[in-house]
Structure 1
Amino acid sequence: MNYRFYTLLSICFFFMVSVGNAKIFRVGYTGPQVTGTDYADFQTAHDEAATGDTLLFYPGNNYTGTASKSLVYMGYGYFLSGTEGNTGLQLITGTLYLQITLTAGSDGSHFEGIGDNTGQTGQLYLIFSNGINNIVIRRCNYVLVYGSTSEDCTDWQIIQSYNIDFIPYANGNTGKFLNLRVENCHLTRLDFTNLTAGSNGQVSNCVIVGGVNLTGASIYFKNNIFQGASFSGVAGTLFENNLFDFTEGTYNITGGTDNQFSVDMSNVFVGSTGNSTDGQWQLKAGSPAIGAGTGSTDCGMFGGTNPYRLSGIPSIPVFYKLTAPSRTATTNPYTITFSVKSNN
């Protein structure tokens, strides 16, 4: 079942990228090898690729290396078995660990569908030592952003992703993040402590369950739900239409526009019983987060105009099933049926 799913997924990738004359490289694929397409390790595939090409990663390996080109990095998603959102469509074993050091030339890279499937042994780990711009992280799980930079990093987007640990460092106290956007994510940490004062951005429609240190940063929070979160350095931070599980005034957070304090979180989410790891953060019937956001949108990661998607399947159509009347063609015409799922 694994090979069938991956073969069909690869067909779809080839079709999607061929339109723009970009190329797809398979990394770690264990099926029949195609020269010039299949590579065992990240670095060799990267070095053969050109700007705009796609690297499709397969599970069961740890991939590490240095990126100096603007590429698209794609995996298969995460939480793909058990009670998760894609049960019965494929069975994927093994974990996917991708550690990339971003260097000059890697601006504009896009990461999607990469993450842990077996309990935090896999992750997307991004390291950088200079200013890297226009990075998109979408539908990834267990994402660690950990860099030391002496230059500004601008226009990073982290979207529809799960278990985000954002803790960059400044090198020589001169680096900061500008126009950072984090949307429809589950965050475990957001820490600007070690960056130069002046970082800015927006965090919207997220579920935040860990430490938030905003020292020296100007961040706009809207439509979020904070459960078990702690704060420091909130001076100059704007909070609108958020739900907090602590009383007003805690961590010096007061007022704002249409925020709710002392919210009983047992009334907010559907919970883990009978739900997937990421599905537990959906809003239950009667939740105070329903319609509580700006413009009467729902708060949390499943609200807004770009809601979180279970399991982080990349946003391309996927052929997940092929049905044929027999293994050999016995009629003319011979009818086969492809089942396709949209993941937009």
Structure 2
Amino acid sequence: MEEAQIENKSALQQKVKDVMSEVAKVVVGQEYMVNRLLIGLFTNGHVLLEGVPGLAKTLTVNTLANVLHLDFQRIQFTPDLMPSDLIGTMIYNQKQGNFEVKKGPIFSNLVLADEVNRSPAKVQSALLEAMQEKQVTIGETTFPLDRPFLVLATQNPVDQEGTYPLPEAQVDRFMLKVTVSYPTKSQELEVMRRMSNMTFNKDVNTILTKEEIFSIRDQVNQVEISESLERYIIELVYATRSPLDYGLKQEAEYIQYGVSPRASINLNLSAKAVAYMEGRDYVLPEDIKEIAYDVMNHRILLNYEAEADGVTTKDIIEKILKQVPIG
């Protein structure tokens, strides 16, 4: 690698750290969520955020969009939301005597789909189709979506009344599912002090441009991963599908369906992003293990016996990571 390329890479890696610091000026104690959002952005993968209300999910995404100088739209999903409210529609112009396209909020760089499980299947399908195809059709015209394009969807795990849970096949479209946890006591004290101060400044500096984001994506793609680690990823994936072959007798009783091929693709991509953000140009086993839960937890479908015994996908993934050898 030429010296200029090395300097450019180091400068961009430092800017990624600066992004984290800049977001922390406004948001307290959500470094894990911000890290996962950046991994999604740098690998062109969408993120599903799950957490109870009030954990600064919307504030974090909004602040991150400002730091990255990206267009941001928040869409509140409700039972009466229509697909046209999301992607746009054709409206009649009386002066011109013709129909014109009115684009919806999906035409943005960062789209926060708030409480995505509160809208009916048609709206969810419209969103997920846009995520997959990176384009939408209004009338007879197809429009490409803005680049970069990242959907960050949230769902509340507590209040399930009046919700339309996302089908497993649709949840699989999300690269990562991130569980957002409560802040610590000291963090919550700082949150309370900041948000109780009506003069608190939420302004942040722009750190990365769109062009730099695309450069980072190229550099992440160039991160090396050895063949032995590629095979390790495949073994992890197959351990969810055929647990008995890996000595996971107890886990085999709980798993109804293992992960899809998207899991192996996304494990590879996200492990590269983890390595890049750590300042390395090669993947370590620890990178795969670090991101494995976020990539796999929404793709493993457990049966009713697991629910009755209080077994979670986290328990299953932890056991798989312990059981499956590296190399």
TM-score scaled by length of structure 1: 0.24
> Which structure shows the higher strand fraction?
1
TM-score (norm 2): 0.25
The structure, 1 or 2, with the larger RCO (C-alpha pairs under 8 Å, 6+ apart) is: 2
